[in-house]
Amino acid sequence: MEARPINDVSYEAYLQEEKLMGSQCGRCGARFLPPRPICTECHGPEMDWAEVEGKGKLASFTCIAVGPPSMKAEGFDRDNPYCLGVVELDGGERVVARILGVDARNPDSIRIGTPLCVKILHRGEGEQVRAVLAFEPLVQEESR
């Protein structure tokens, strides 16, 4: 893997490549998503990129009816809210991301602890395409 600086630009580039990458401290082993250039556990600067397994569970959420212009452009508004949540990944990292496949019009139907898997969205066209981190409910195989 090529050496990239641990910053937002590199993180976004990895998302564009469909890779969920965080940082890991070479001193204490703490992992972070989004990545951090300095460990907040031991304050060490020995951070390296680490690929993150994209499975976890919903830790908290909110449904948003009045969002930023980018969400309005996607059709979200008072009549069509979207869900944003904190996902606790299986490796212990926590990340804020869009939650897909839930009914944001009916927040009571959304359950904390729902198993989720990563889904990287690509929005825009041409050179304006940007990657957006999202998660969706993990499809459980039906027992036979």
Structurally, the chain folds into a number of domains equal to 2
pTM: 0.86
Q: Is residue 131 part of a domain?
A: no
| 57-81 mean pLDDT | 90
In this structure, the answer to whether residues 81 and 119 fall within a common structural domain is: yes
Q: Which two tokens stand for residue 132?
A: 């957006």
| 95-119 mean pLDDT | 96
pLDDT of 123 over the 90 cut = no
Q: Is residue 132 part of a domain?
A: no
Q: Mark residue 29 as left, alpha or beta (left: phi above 0; alpha: psi -120 to 50; beta: remaining).
A: left
pLDDT of 141 over the 90 cut = no
- At 14-55, the pLDDT tens digits run 999 999 999 999 999 999 999 999 999 999 999 999 999 999
Nearest to 95 by CA among 18, 5, 23: 23
Q: Is residue 47 part of a domain?
A: yes
- Judged by DSSP in three states, 14 sits in helix
Q: Is residue 95 part of a domain?
A: yes
Q: Which residues span the domain enclosing 88?
A: 55-123
Contact 99, 138 (CB under 8 A): no
In this structure, the answer to whether residues 43 and 60 fall within a common structural domain is: no
pLDDT for 2 equals: 59
Supply the mean pLDDT for the chain.
90
Q: Is residue 87 part of a domain?
A: yes
Q: Is residue 17 part of a domain?
A: yes
Of 71 and 63, more confident? 63
